[in-house]
Amino acid sequence: MSDLHLIAITVNGEAHEVAVDSRRTLADVLRHDLRLTGTHLGCEHGVCGACTVLLDGSPVRSCLVFGVQADGMEVETVEGLADDGTLGPLQQAFSEEGGLQCGFCTPGFLMLGTALLREHPDPTEEEIDDLVAANLCRCTGYAGIRRALLKAARGGATEGWPEPARVEDPRLLTGGGRFVDDVDRAGQLWMRVVRADLAAAEIVEIDAEAARQMEGVVAVLDATSLPDGFVIPIRLGPYEGDLTPFLQPVLAGAEVRYVGEPVAVVVAEDPYVAEDAAERVVTRYAPREPLLDSAQHGAEPAVTLRRGFGDADAAFAAADLVVEVDVRVGRHSAVPLETRGLVADWDTQARHLTVWGATKVPHFNRGALARLLGLGAEEITIRASDAGGGFGVRGELYPEDVLVTWLAMRFERPVKWIEDRSEHLVATNHSREQSRRLEGAFREDGSLLAVRDRVRHDNGAYLRTHGLLVPEMTLGMLLGPYRVDGYDGEAQVFLTNKTPAGTYRAPGRYEATFARERLLDKAAAALGMDPIALRRRNLLKARELPHHRPVPVLGHEVVIDDADFAGLLAETLKESNWSGWKKEAAKLRGEGRAIGVGFAYFLEKSGGGGFETARIDVLADGRLRVSSGATSLGQGVETVLAEVVCRELDVARADVAVVAGDTDLVEAGGGSWASRSTVYAGSAAQKAAQELRALLLEVASELLEADARDLELGAGAVEVRGSPSSRISFAELAARSDALANGRHGRPPGLSVTATFTDAPMTYPYGVHLAQVEVDRRSGAVSVLRYHVGYDVGTAISPRQVEGQLVGGAAQGIGGALLEEFTYDELGQPQSTTFIDYLLPTAAEVPDVTLTLLERGRAKGNPLGAKGAGEGGTTACGAAIAAAVDDALQRPGAILELPITPTRVMRLLAGEE
């Protein structure tokens, strides 16, 4: 049934008449009917604000307004902000101040800011704070957004600034980004997944007849229609033992194992109709008893991993003191502001499948899809697109990736699927849920002799692409930056009836750091030692490096090559004014407030994954196009690559275009994960640039008839040193290299090089987190007053971006420490399926994060000397905040569970009374 209305709306000054169904939201009218895709949908239920537009001048969430309600009104969207392509002062300020990373939330903030500055040209700081707290951002930690608004309000932004801070910025600030839902193909169908609504059950019958009869429905299919062997493969391995029984089928066959598991798909002409039809698919189940907690009686692990070295037992027997902690980290995850989505287009004649939306490991996904669909890898192209944050979960191969592509081939029409927010919260990888008992053997002087680690890892219902990576990583990285002679680690991996888990920013390390630092705090208290002194005693010293630890992580044993652990600690404590924080907290406690400070040390890892490819083409106009196997997830990889190439070849940034993650442009690639993009893709780009330089000089030397050694590069040209009149521009070189190549020297035509950088060992960045918190004794709520991250990044290619990564990472870590948790009721029904229940922090919950950034431990394994910086902002948040809460309550060792919710704090305080 549709109820059509002809409406007249003016958008950015242009009048439109559109026929809309009354249930179509204004956001969908703008995005899909008017093709103004700058307005984004992050939740469709009024919480995130990404969809904010101005309606008759007033900011509104366009997902909460029906298009028909806007009849006769004036709408302003992000597309209207830039005057003929020049960024306005507010947009410019966002770029200059790091107000955006992935750019998905940015249009919403820009529209809020535009309205505010129009109404109050000189807003107070409080008004700005209120504004920033109104919308959600998952990347920036809000600091850059706040700075940008302040700058624009105080007239500090440079209008029409020639060079935006990042290559990505101009398109993202003007609504020109290309996110997957921005891709619409002519004649496309929409897929909707019918999901299990029980946690554990046998499927008795799926009745799709009513759905099939609906107008606009093309098909409804369940597992019986799929080819055999449609199972999600593991990407990261190998592991001992056969893991196939634990893999997820693309559609559930005989049984369902978690609420949200795909059981059928609807294919329809329109997303609204697809959803109507999905509701009409009736699945009958025979319910079973769900397993929801690995501690539940009778629960058996699916896999047990053991890692260790030295003689831990002997060390425990000889220890002066044995300390143990039982800790738990709650289930939470990346929850990027853009949900997942895919578009697949199958060209029957050309036998070619094109896919948009799988941003992370395109080459792996291409290979896996090729195997499943019976195609050659060369018959599939995965196109680069923008992505609204990844943080580990986006772009893995999920059941939907297989479904969308298979359906496109089967129906010979483009198929599109956009995950909605409620689906996202049950369908996309969860992470982090681990409990562990950790024991440490100490000498009286605080030396840590050995560690015994017993982990219960709840991986949800299946092993997906990450396989056993997280439990392996949590064992491999547990010991952190400390000297330990004996380690006895064991992780039991349980498959429960909950959403499958995978990696999330600092996977395994967030959990391990929490446990280890809690243990050290407890040991310090037991020994009457200052917790920092205890760390100092155990940190590896420069002369002990490189330090080899015989526990494998991603197939490499840990080798910490270069680090100044004590130096970073000293500098961070000084720069943060830690002793001032401590004094202040003690003084305020004296006045009756519950304020405390906490600290945690962590070791990160970055890189891994073999190789990366970069290609540089000199285009006809002399500009350079850099293509990489890395993907753009909001982390600014395009800027990093452009920066590296500009430095090597002395060209202006405006003359470099970057394409990240298009499988047609580079033959092979590793993708973007594990903070590897700068290390691998950056090194590959550097190598390609060096090869291109040699090629340019060689060709120019022929054309200029000069010795290559007398030539130099400058400003997009090659010239004879000391005689600037003999020069030849890149454009001309490009034009003439074709003809030149014709038969001479047998060089292939064109100016294009491809370079592969291989085999950088894992690098180990490290850092310190400091927190000052207040506990509200009335409510048990914890607020973070101050936060500081000290980090050694090796070499920062783009210091501003490193800062952005750390601050944004800290906001996520704080979310996981205090607010975010996927909870389930006793039947396994998920309780966090909206943005009202799954609490992403707003600006009001995230403090200003300050930084100490050192470039000391230059990584030896890559020419840039870079260590990744994607995760270190997150790793130690749980640990540092827990320590601070202990201190605030003056109860060492009290916090053993994350997130630290008011209810949990109340339980502690009740024990006190």
Ligand X SMILES: Cc1cc2nc3c(=O)[nH]c(=O)nc-3n(C[C@H](O)[C@H](O)[C@H](O)COP(=O)(O)OP(=O)(O)OC[C@H]3O[C@@H](n4cnc5c(N)ncnc54)[C@H](O)[C@@H]3O)c2cc1C
Site residues (CB under 6 A) for ligand X? 46-47
Amino acid at residue number 168? E
The binding track of 314-353 with respect to ligand FES, each residue x by CB under 6 A or -, is -----------------------x----------------
> Residue 397's binding partner, choosing from another protein, ligand FES, ligand X, none, with beta-carbon cut-off 5 to 8 A by kind?
none
101 binds, among ligand X, another protein, ligand FES, none (CB under 5 to 8 A by kind): ligand FES
Closer to another protein by CB, 336 or 671: give it: 336
Which of 48, 713 has the CB closer to ligand X?
Answer: 48
Residue 633 in the binding site for ligand FES (CB under 6 A): no
* Residue 819 in the binding site for another protein (CB under 8 A): yes
Supply the minimum distance, in Å, between the C-beta of residue 830 and another protein. Answer: 14
Q: From the list 18, 29, 100, 501, which residue makes contact with ligand FES (rule: CB under 6 A)? A: 100
Instruction: Please identify which residue in 33, 71, 557, 667 interacts with another protein, judged by CB under 8 A.
Output: 71
What distance in Å separates the CA atoms of residue 267 and residue 280, rounded to the nearest whole number?
Answer: 13
Question: Counting contacts by CB under 8 A, is residue 65 touching another protein?
Answer: yes
Q: Any idea what DSSP says for residue 225?
A: G
Scanning 48-56, 181-189, 519-527, 731-739 for contacts with ligand FES by CB under 6 A, the matching segment is: 48-56
Cβ atoms 227, 403 nearer than 8 A: no
Least separation in angstroms between residue 514's CB and ligand FES is: 25
Joined tokens for residue 156:
């500090």
Residues in contact with 792: Cβ distance below 8 Å, sequence separation at least 6, in sequence order:
563, 564, 568, 765, 766, 767, 854, 855, 856, 857, 867
Binding string, 179-218, against ligand FES, x = CB under 6 A? ----------------------------------------
Which option in another protein, ligand FES, ligand X, none does residue 902 bind, with CB closer than 5 to 8 A by kind? another protein
b vs e for 213-233, b when ≥16 Cβ sit within 10 Å of the residue's Cβ? eeeebbbbbbbeebeeebebb
> Residue 514 has which token pair?
């929490």
Q: Any idea what DSSP says for residue 897?
A: E
CA distance 238 to 116: 54
Q: How far is the CB of 136 from ligand X (least distance, A)?
A: 10
- Decide: 93 and 157 in contact? Cβ < 8 Å: yes
Site for ligand FES in 386-445 (CB under 6 A): 388-389
- Least separation in angstroms between residue 136's CB and ligand FES is 7
Burial of 370 (0-12, 13-18, 19+ CB in 10 A): middle
Separation of alpha carbons 78 and 91, rounded Å: 10
| 1 part of the interface to another protein, by CB under 8 A | yes
Long-range contacts (CB closer than 8 Å, 24 or more residues apart) made by 894-898? 895/518, 896/325, 896/326, 896/327, 896/328, 896/518, 897/327, 897/328, 897/329, 897/330, 898/328, 898/329, 898/330, 898/514, 898/816, 898/817
CB of 761 to another protein, least distance (A): 42
**Which position has the token pair 């359906």?**
407
C-beta of 47: minimal distance to ligand X in Å?
5
Residue 179 CB, shortest distance to ligand FES, in Å, is 11
* 3-class SS letters over 572-602: HHHHHCHHHHHHHHHHHHHCCCEEEEEEEEE
- Token pair for residue 798? 């783009």
Residue indicated by tokens 């029980």: 198
- 49 lies in the site for another protein, by CB under 8 A: yes
Q: Is 104 in the site for ligand FES (CB under 6 A)?
A: yes
Q: How far is the CB of 878 from another protein (least distance, A)?
A: 17
Q: How far apart are CA 424 and CA 394, in angstroms?
A: 11
Shortest separation between residue 61's beta carbon and ligand X, angstroms: 7
Residue (135 or 538) nearer to ligand FES, CB:
135
698-702 long-range contacts (CB < 8 A, ≥24 apart) are: 699/733, 699/736, 699/737, 699/740, 699/751, 700/728, 700/733, 702/740, 702/744
Number of chain residues interacting with ligand FES (CB under 6 A): 27
Burial of 445 (0-12, 13-18, 19+ CB in 10 A): exposed
Q: Which of 114, 140 has the CB closer to ligand FES?
A: 140
Which residue has the CB atom at the shortest distance from ligand X? 46
Least Å from the CB of residue 46 to ligand X: 3
| Least Cβ distance, residue 50 to another protein (angstroms) | 12
Residues counted in the chain: 913
Q: What are phi and psi of 100, to 5 degrees?
A: -145, 150
CA distances, 430 to each of 190, 446, 629 (Å)? 25, 37, 26
Binding residues vs another protein (CB under 8 A) = 1-3, 5, 21-23, 25, 28, 44-46, 49, 52, 58-61, 63-66, 68-69, 71, 112, 130-131, 133-135, 271-272, 275-276, 279, 420-422, 778-781, 819, 834, 836, 839, 841-845, 901-903, 906-907, 910
Binding site for ligand FES (CB under 6 A): 41-44, 46-51, 61, 63, 100-106, 137-140, 337, 388-389, 634
